[in-house]
Structures are given as C-alpha cells and as structure tokens.
Amino acid sequence: MKRFLNCKIDISKKVFAPRPETEFWTKLALKEIKKLKEKKIDVLDIFAGSGAIGIAVLKNVKNTSCDFVDVDRSALSQIRINLKINNIKKRRYRIVKSNLFEEINKNSLYDFILANPPYVALNRLSEVQPNVLKKDPRLALFAGKDGLDYIKRLLNEVKNHLKPKGRIYLEFDPQQKPEIKKISGKEGLNLKFRKDQFGKWRFLIGWK
C-alpha cells in the first residue's frame, strides 16, 4: 500500500507505482481545482494507472466527478479497488477502458484533464533503474524512441475535450521540454512549464 497525498493507494495488481513528483503537481492542481466556483467540476484522469491522481481529487474536493481512463485491464480493476478503499461514492466516477480519447464521448468536456502518460524514451532504456523495470509494467513506461508518442497524441486531441476555461496538467521528462514547446506551438495551446520539488522541469499547465 502506498500513500498519495491523503489517499491509500493499493498497487497489488502490478500497476505503475505513483511517484513523489506526480504527488507534487497533483497537490498544486488540487489548489486550483478548489478555486473554481462551479457547482460541479468535471475532471479526467487519463493514463490513470492506480487512479491515484483522480482519487486525490475526489477525496479532497467535494463537488468533483472524475472519469478514469486506462488501456490496461489490471489498471481498471486496480482503480475500482482504490476507489473502494478511499470510500468514494459510485455516482462520482466512471472508469473507461480506452486508448487515449478513443472511447470518450465527443461531447465530454472537462474543467481539468490530469495526465501522467508513459514518457520514457526507448533510446534511454539503459538509464532506467533495474528495480523500476522489474516492478512497473512496460506499457506504463515507454513511449517510442523519444518518449513523446503519447504526449504528441494527447496535445493533438486535448483541445476537443477541454471546456473554454479548462486546463490540462501534463507530466513529462525534463529533457522533453524544448520538443514539447514546439509541438504545443503547432497545436495552438497556451502553456506554462513548471519545475518539480527537485528543481527539474516536470509538468506543464495548458489551456486553449
């Protein structure tokens, strides 16, 4: 059992173990979500894994509902377990098996999209610590030669699912920042890049 903010997260279904860097930006996202004065706030946790990010939102902000998306069946059953452990009511979430947005209704729009996609570059395989390779599923780690396969697809499609004032929080590898800046420019997204608690470029906040 792992702690993620004030949530208990089980990873016994062999899903990706949530990281302190992710916890760091999720905490900042929570602060922003709490500021929204909407009656109901719609959140998407895409590449959800254990569901840690979305569960932290549901547990800490009352008027939120969250869609959890992952392509891996083990992740989906792990999310269900973790929602139960954290006493989240069924009417507040949906769990969707989907390859990115493929199975998400075209009309589904979100106030916040929170994403920690696989982003390890295959050409940096040798730098990945052996215990990470042993524990975390490869599907959760790697994203093509430069690690940008999912980030590119996400940045290409995300505008279709953000409300007019919606925000995306997206985690990446510090080395990917220049390339991501280029891609988002092409996609017409506004961006702020942010560092993690270790002083490394680690996530961005994007909007239309």
Ligand X SMILES: C[S@@+](CC[C@H](N)C(=O)[O-])C[C@H]1O[C@@H](n2cnc3c(N)ncnc32)[C@H](O)[C@@H]1O
Binding region for ligand X (CB under 6 A): 15-16, 18, 22, 47-50, 52-53, 69-72, 75, 99-100, 116-118, 139-140
Residue nearer to ligand X on the CB measure, 137 or 193? 137
Min. distance of Cβ 164 from ligand X in angstroms? Answer: 25
Q: Which is nearer to ligand X, 174 or 185 (CB)?
A: 174
Tokens of 122: 């295959």
Closest separation between CB of residue 114 and ligand X, Å?
Answer: 8
Measured at the CA of 176, the angle between CA 180 and CA 146, to 5 degrees, comes to: 100
Q: Which is nearer to ligand X, 47 or 206 (CB)?
A: 47
Compute the least distance from the CB of residue 39 to ligand X, in Å: 27
C-alpha 138: how far from chain center = 17
Contact 54, 93 (CB under 8 A): yes
CB 95 within 8 Å of CB 50: no
Closer by beta carbon to ligand X, 185 or else 198? 198
| Matching residue, tokens 């279904």 | 13
- Given the complex with ligand X, which of 118 and 147 has the nearer CB atom? 118
- The residues near 110 (Cβ < 8 Å, ≥ 6 apart) are 42, 43, 44, 67, 161, 162, 163, 166
Q: How far is the CB of 208 from ligand X (least distance, A)?
A: 22
Contact at 8 Å (CB) between 104 and 33?
Answer: no
Q: How far is the CB of 75 from ligand X (least distance, A)?
A: 4
Q: Which residue sits closest to ligand X, CB atoms considered? A: 49
Q: What is the dihedral of CA 149, 107, 204, 64, to 10 degrees?
A: -130
State which residue, 99 or 190, has the beta carbon closest to ligand X: 99
Distance of closest approach, residue 91 Cβ to ligand X, in angstroms: 22
